[in-house]
Amino acid sequence: MGDRERSAARIEHDVQTLAGPDYTASADAICRYAYTDVYRNTLGYFTERFRELGYEVWQDPVGTLVASNRPRGAKAFGIGSHCDSNRNGGKWDGTLGVVVALEVARLAKEQGLDLPLRVISFLEEEGSGFGQMLLGSRIMLQRVTEEDLRERIHDEDGQSFWESACAAGYEPERWQESIHELDGLVGWIETHIEQGRVLQDTGNRLGVVEAIAGYVHGDLRFAGRADHAGATPMGFRVDAAIPGAETILELERLAREIGDGVVGTAGEVETSPSLINVVPGGMRVSLDLRSVTGGHLELRDRIVAYAEERGRARDVGVTWTERQRLPETPLDRAIVEALVTGAEAAGEPFRVMPSGAAHDTMCVADRVPSAMVFVPCKDGLSHTPLEDARPEDGALAAEVVLAAIAQRLGS
């Protein structure tokens, strides 16, 4: 059995094991998030596997898992991802990246490569526990405030992140020390399923990610007047849904006009009072705008201006509220080139591409030269129990990542 076949078998075993009942709170999907028993069991699984390889394993003050074959803070190359899930998730998202990091560690040891490695599995990337994406990596990179952790970030029962971390046995008062987990890192690579269908539809087995899209999340709210649907003639209405609907159509047109990879999505639409026989007096349209070029900010400005214009034309008030914004993240050219070299040597089809989805690497790249590798997922499905990927592609990713690390470290 060759290295790839052996790697694929081990990766499949790890992923399938972590889809078992001890590691998910749902019988029908993968559901695990910060401070739950099944999440703790998942960290325990990785802890045991890395200790078998002779790694020291610990957690940062809020629960991000770290494993290393070098002392804390020493020079090392970082690899990893996250192992929490969407509440109705699949077994590959995030988890594959930590499993591939484990496989890289196994391969390095088997091949006698004394590479300094540090694996990180970030806490709460999906936001399933506290409604905040990239929370563990944002804490590590100081992209939150103590007030956020104490008061603004809560679980579904209203308990603050701070209280939850304390109850789980962690020390959130030391949260600012988390950044030291990156001390000494000379590079970082995260492997992840693509969460789209570009690789599948272009016949490629790997994607080398050169940039991660920035995004803006926000709400357009349209304020009209609720009237009886039968008793109010069309000419007397102040229907909030009409300019809302016009705006949704314009969003698609503008995104196509701006081009250059800009995408815009109206993923949530809510009318009020949401009754079949009442003209909508209010409407909320959520917007998710992304690009790797900054074009999503142009799209935001133009679609808000359009919504305001259409609102004025119909005596409907319009307000824009931004929920969250993350900047686009260009990745490290030298590491991208090392991954390309590794992919070329592996002899399998690959492409250099951007990531439209957000990842912990967006935060890590603030401090450490970083890149990513994508593995195809069937039909682009993610955040669903239907999510699927091939262990053979994970094995190829492990091979390419190991080669890139060895090149960057001069081994």
pLDDT digits (tens, 9 = 90+) for 125-150: 999 999 899 999 999 999 999 999 99
pLDDT digits (tens, 9 = 90+) for 350-387: 999 999 999 999 999 999 999 999 999 999 999 999 99
Cα within 13 Å of Cα(291), Cβ side: 17
pLDDT of 221 strictly over 80: yes
Peptide bond into 273 cis (omega under 30): yes
Residues 332 and 321 in one domain: no
- Residue 116 backbone dihedrals phi, psi, to 5 degrees: -75, 115
Joined together, the tokens standing for residue 207 give 């994607």
**320 & 341 share domain:** no
First to last CA, the chain: 25
49-64, pLDDT tens digit by residue? 999 999 999 999 999 9
Distance, CA of 153 to CA of 167 (rounded, Å): 15
Q: Which residue has the higher pLDDT, 326 or 46?
A: 46
Distances (CA, A) of 11 to 6, 15, 194: 9, 6, 17
Q: Which residues pair with 371 in a beta bridge?
A: 189
Query: Where do the DSSP E strands lie in 42-132?
Result: 56-59, 65-68, 76-82, 117-122
- How buried is residue 298: exposed, middle or buried, by Cβ count under 10 Å (0-12/13-18/19+)? middle
**What angle, rounded to 10 degrees, do the helices at 95-110 and 37-52 form?**
10
Distances in whole angstroms, Cα of residue 228 to Cα of each of 19, 232, 239, 282: 51, 6, 11, 14
Q: Are residues 75 and 186 in the same domain?
A: yes
Q: Which of 273, 308, 326 is the last residue of a domain?
A: 326
Residue 117 φ then ψ, to 5°: -125, 145
Domain that holds residue 237: 214-326
- Name the domain boundary from 279, 294, 326: 326
DSSP 131-180: S-TTHHHHHHTT-S-HHIIIII-B-TTS-BHHHHHHHTT--GGGGGGGGG
Residue 10, CA distances (Å) to 41, 309, 399 in order: 19, 58, 13
* Closest to 309 measured CA to CA, from 250, 237, 236: 250
Reported as a single tens digit per residue, the pLDDT across 263-315 is: 999 999 999 999 999 999 999 999 999 999 999 999 999 999 999 999 999 99
Whole-number average pLDDT of the chain: 97
The two tokens of residue 125 are: 């990337």
Q: Shortest CA distance to 39 belongs to which of 79, 78, 77, 89?
A: 89
122 and 137 in a common domain: yes
Task: Note whether 55 and 186 are same-domain residues.
Answer: yes
User: Which residue, 81, 59, 16, 60, is CA-closest to 24?
Assistant: 16
State pLDDT tens for residues 149-201.
999 999 999 999 999 999 999 999 999 999 999 999 999 999 999 999 999 99
Q: How confident is the model at residue 326 (pLDDT cuts 50, 70, 90)?
A: confident
Give CA–CA dist 111/3, Å, rounded: 10
pLDDT greater than 90 at residue 411: no
pLDDT for residue 389 is more than 90: yes
The reply to whether 208 and 218 lie within a common domain is: no
* pLDDT value of residue 324: 84
Give the pLDDT of residue 198: 96
Mean pLDDT for the stretch of residues 24-48: 97
Model confidence over 89-104: pLDDT tens digits? 999 999 999 999 999 9
My answer on whether 27 and 116 are in the same domain is yes
Give the model's confidence band at 2: pLDDT under 50 very low, under 70 low, under 90 confident, else very high: confident
State how many domains the chain has. Answer: 2
Q: How far apart are CA 247 and CA 309, in angstroms?
A: 10
Going by pLDDT thresholds of 50, 70 and 90, the confidence category of residue 3 is confident
Residue that is written with structure tokens 């439209």 in the block: 356
State the Cα–Cα distance between residues 302 and 231, nearest whole angstrom. Answer: 36
* Residue 1 confidence (pLDDT) above 60: no
Exposure of 280 in the CB half-sphere (CA atoms within 13 A): 19
CATH number at residue 254: 3.30.70.360
Domain edge (last residue) among 260, 293, 326: 326
Whether 81 and 105 map to the same domain: the answer is yes
Q: What is the pLDDT of residue 247?
A: 98
Residues near 70 by Cβ (< 8 Å), separated by ≥ 6? 76, 116, 117, 118, 184
Tokens of 330: 């260009």
Instruction: Return the structure tokens found at 360.
Output: 């912990």
Instruction: Judge if 198 and 166 occupy the same domain.
Output: yes
Which residues share a beta bridge with 286? 219
The residue written with tokens 């999907």 in the block is 29
Q: Verify that 229 and 315 share a domain, yes or no.
A: yes
Q: Identify whether residues 111 and 194 lie together within a single domain.
A: yes
Q: Are 398 and 103 in contact (CB under 8 A)?
A: yes
Q: Please check whether residues 18 and 165 belong to one and the same domain.
A: yes
Which helix H or strand E contains 255, and what residues bound it?
A: helix 241-258
Looking at residue 139, what is its pLDDT?
A: 98
pLDDT at 87 over 60: yes
Which CATH number covers residue 89? 3.40.630.10
